[in-house]
Amino acid sequence: NAGVIQTPRHKVTGKGQEATLWCEPISGHSAVFWYRQTIVQGLEFLTYFRNQAPIDDSGMPKERFSAQMPNQSHSTLKIQSTQPQDSAVYLCASSVQGNERLFFGHGTKLSVL
């Protein structure tokens, strides 16, 4: 079991470009969470899917961030017009159901130049 798979591991974009981050949850898991990790802010909640349906996107910057889960095997986080302050490690986590015992991926380190 490879666990939660996130691709790419590293992504470098220029200011204003688009970035798409991918997450493959553990098979059979119905809950998928996205978090952003920085030294200054720590772990910030972005959004949460349950059985592919969006449940809570209260942490998503509304204008440029969007997340989807088109099927049970993957979720994407898209950032349009990336800004230097978007630089962070973006973490995806899944669980059998709900918020107990999340399994995290290695994360995607996004660097916006």
φ, ψ of residue 45 in degrees (nearest 5): -70, 135
Select from 8-16, 65-73, 75-83, 89-97 the region that touches other proteins (CB under 8 A): 89-97
| Residue number, 82 or 102, with CB nearest to other proteins | 102
Decide: is 18 part of the binding site for other proteins (CB under 8 A): no
**3-state DSSP helix/strand/coil percent for the chain, to nearest 5?**
5, 55, 40
Residue that the structure tokens 């949850």 belong to: 25
Decide: is 74 part of the binding site for other proteins (CB under 8 A): no
CA–CA separation, 67 and 74 (whole Å): 11
The binder of other proteins chosen from 48, 49, 65, 90 (CB under 8 A): 48
Select from 9-17, 60-68, 70-78, 91-99 the region that touches other proteins (CB under 8 A): 91-99
Q: Indicate the SS3 state at residue 97.
A: coil
Contact 86, 18 (CB under 8 A): no
Decide: is 98 part of the binding site for other proteins (CB under 8 A): yes
Contacting positions for other proteins (CB under 8 A): 3-4, 31, 33, 35, 42-43, 45, 48, 55-56, 58-59, 91, 93, 97-107
